[in-house]
Amino acid sequence: MNKYQNRSRNHLRKTPTGIQGLDEILEGGLPHGRSTLVCGSAGTGKTLMAVEFLVKGAKFYDEPGVFISFEETLEELTENTASLNIDLMKLIDEDKIFVDYVYVERSEIEETGVYDLEGLFLRLEDAIQRTGAKRVVLDTLETLFSGFTDTGILRAELRRLFRYLKDKGLTAVITAERGDGQLTRQGMEEYISDCVIVLDNRIKEGLSTRRLRIVKYRGSSHGNDEYPFLINNFGFWILPITSIGLDYTASTKRISTGISELDDMLAGGGYYRGSNILVSGSAGTGKTSVVAHFVDAACTRGMCCLIFAHEESNNQIIRNMRSIGINLEPWIQQGLLKIQSERVTKQGMESHLLKSHQMVDSFHPEVLVIDPVSDFTSIGTSDDVKSMLIRMIDSYKALGITTLFTHLTSGGEHEQSTEIGISSLIDTWILLRYLETDGERNRSLYVLKSRGMGHSNQLRHFQITDNGIQLQSTLNARGDLQ
C-alpha cells in the first residue's frame, strides 16, 4: 500500500479505506478531507462498505469515526454488518466509533414556517467531539427528503453540511440510492463531486455478481474497470483485475518436478520456484499424476502444498495416486499437504477466487495446484475465466508461490491452444497427449514452452506404472523410437 501512497503524495492526500483491494483501485484511498459518494440500489452493500471504512479507520489508522444512520438503528446496523460486529461494538465501547441513529419520520411532520437542520449539525458536532472523529459516514442522507417537504431548505442545508464537513477536514462517505437516469434519486452527485463510487449487483447467467466502479475521482487517477467484489463473513472483498502488476521478482531457484527425466528435459533442474506451470492434455493422459509427482517431491523437501481439486474427492485422489506408488497421506498427516475438493459449480467465480485467496492466506502454501482450471468454463465465459486466472497468477506470483494448473483439452487440433486462452500467461507448459503409432496408443509428453531455460524439444513416450510416471526413450524426427 505504501507504494500507492508515495506515488499519490504529489497529487492529492488520500485516506486509506483499509478495505481489501479498494485502496489499490483508488490508488491510495479516498480523497482526504473530502466527501465521497457511494451509490447503488438496495442491497448492493453500501452500508457495509461505509461501516467497514469506519471500522478499519479506527482499528488500523487511528482515525475515529462517526456513523450517522438515517435508516437503521444501532441494533439493525450491527445485525446487518455481522461480519464486523465484534469490531464495531468494541470500537463503540472504546469511544472510537460513535453511531447516531437519526429517526426520520415518514409520516408528515407539520411544517409551520422556516426551519433549519441545526439539530442534525449539533448531533454531528457532538459526536465528532466525543470521538475526535476524522471519518464520517452519512447513511443514507437522502432519507431526509422523505421526512421534510421543503426541498429548498433541504438543499440549502445539504450544501451547508458538505461545506461543514470540508471545513472540518473530515473524510466522509455519503451513501445514496441509485436513481433512474441519474446516479442518485435526489441528485446527490450535485453536492459531492470529488469522488463517486457506484456499487451494483447483477445476475449474469444465473450467478449474482457484485461489481464496483469508480465513476469519478477528481484530481486522481484510478482504476477504470468494473471490479467484482464479494460480501462474506470477512466483510467487503474486492479483487482488482490487474492491480498486482508485473513487478514481482523472478527466482532463479529450481524445484524438481518429481520426475527425474522431466527435470532433465527442463535443462536439468525442474520448474522455477514461484513460476506457473500448465499441464494440459485430453482425458486420461495423466495430468493429475504429473501433479502428484511434483507435490510429493515438494512435500519431501518440506514445502507446504495446497491442492484445489475440482473433479475428485480427497480420498479418490489419495487412492489413485497410491496405485501409482505415490503416497500422499503422510504429507496430509504432517500438515504439509492440504487437498480442498469441491465442484466448481458450487459457487460463483468470485466466491471461488475469494475462497482460494483465503485458504492461501491461512495455509501459506509454497506450491499450489488447481486441478483442473478448465472446469471454470462451466461457471463463466472464457473472458471471465481468463481474467480470474490472470488475477490468480499475478497474486500467487507476487507471493512467490509455485502454481501448477491442469487443463483438460478436448483433443484434436486445438490442443495447443487452451480454450480459455491462458497460454501466454504460463511460464512452463507441459503437453500430454496420446500418440497412435503402429497399432499402439501411447501417452506422450512434450515441453511446449518453458520460459527462461533451455528445454528439450523431444516428444517422449511415458507409461504410468506402479512406480509412477516413467518416461521412455526419445522419438526421432520421424516418430520412430530410438
Partner 1 sequence: MNLPISENANREAGEERWILRLYIAGQTPKSLTALSNLRRICEDHLAGRYFIEIIDLQEDPGLARKDQIMAIPTLVRKLPPPIKKIIGDLSNTERVLIGLDVISA
The pattern of x and - marking residues 191 through 210 that bind partner 1 according to CB under 8 A reads --------------------
Bridge-based pairing of strands 207-217 and 195-204 is antiparallel
Closer residue to partner 1, CB minimum distance, 67 or 271: 67
State in angstroms the smallest separation of the CB of 248 from partner 1: 51
Residues in region 147-166 near partner 1 by CB under 8 A: 147-148
State in angstroms the smallest separation of the CB of 205 from partner 1: 45
- The residue whose grid cell reads 499437504 is 337
- Cα dihedral: 379, 382, 383, 386 (round 10): 90
Q: What b/e readout covers 249-274, taking b as 16+ CB neighbours within 10 angstroms? A: eeeeebbbbbbeebbbbbeeebbbbb
Taking the alpha carbons at both ends of the chain, their separation in whole angstroms is 56
Closer residue to partner 1, CB minimum distance, 103 or 234: 103
Closer residue to partner 1, CB minimum distance, 123 or 254: 123
State in angstroms the smallest separation of the CB of 147 from partner 1: 8
By CB under 8 A, tell whether 283 contacts partner 1.
no
- The residue whose grid cell reads 465513476 is 215
Closer residue to partner 1, CB minimum distance, 110 or 180: 110
Triad 97, 101, 102: Cα angle to 5°: 130
Closer residue to partner 1, CB minimum distance, 54 or 392: 54
State in angstroms the smallest separation of the CB of 117 from partner 1: 6
Triad 415, 428, 389: Cα angle to 5°: 75
Closer residue to partner 1, CB minimum distance, 119 or 330: 119
Residues in region 121-150 near partner 1 by CB under 8 A: 122-123, 125-126, 147-148
Residues in region 66-125 near partner 1 by CB under 8 A: 100, 102-105, 109-120, 122-123, 125
State in angstroms the smallest separation of the CB of 158 from partner 1: 13
Q: Sort 287 into a burial class: Cβ within 10 Å, 0-12 / 13-18 / 19+.
A: buried
Closer residue to partner 1, CB minimum distance, 77 or 373: 77
Closest-CA residue to 377 (of 369, 386, 368) = 386
State in angstroms the smallest separation of the CB of 353 from partner 1: 43
State in angstroms the smallest separation of the CB of 145 from partner 1: 13
Q: Where are the strands (E) in 273-316, listed by range?
A: 276-281, 305-309
DSSP lists the bridge partners of residue 66 as: 98, 136
Q: How many chain residues touch partner 1 (CB under 8 A)? A: 23
Closer residue to partner 1, CB minimum distance, 1 or 109: 109
State in angstroms the smallest separation of the CB of 118 from partner 1: 4
Closer residue to partner 1, CB minimum distance, 112 or 233: 112
State in angstroms the smallest separation of the CB of 337 from partner 1: 56
Rounded Cα–Cα distance for residues 460 and 432 (Å): 10
The secondary structure of 43-90 as a DSSP string is: TSSHHHHHHHHHHHHHHHS---EEEEESS--HHHHHHHTGGGHHHHHH
Triad 467, 473, 475: Cα angle to 5°: 135
DSSP lists the bridge partners of residue 338 as: 306
Q: Which residues bind partner 1 (CB under 8 A)?
A: 100, 102-105, 109-120, 122-123, 125-126, 147-148
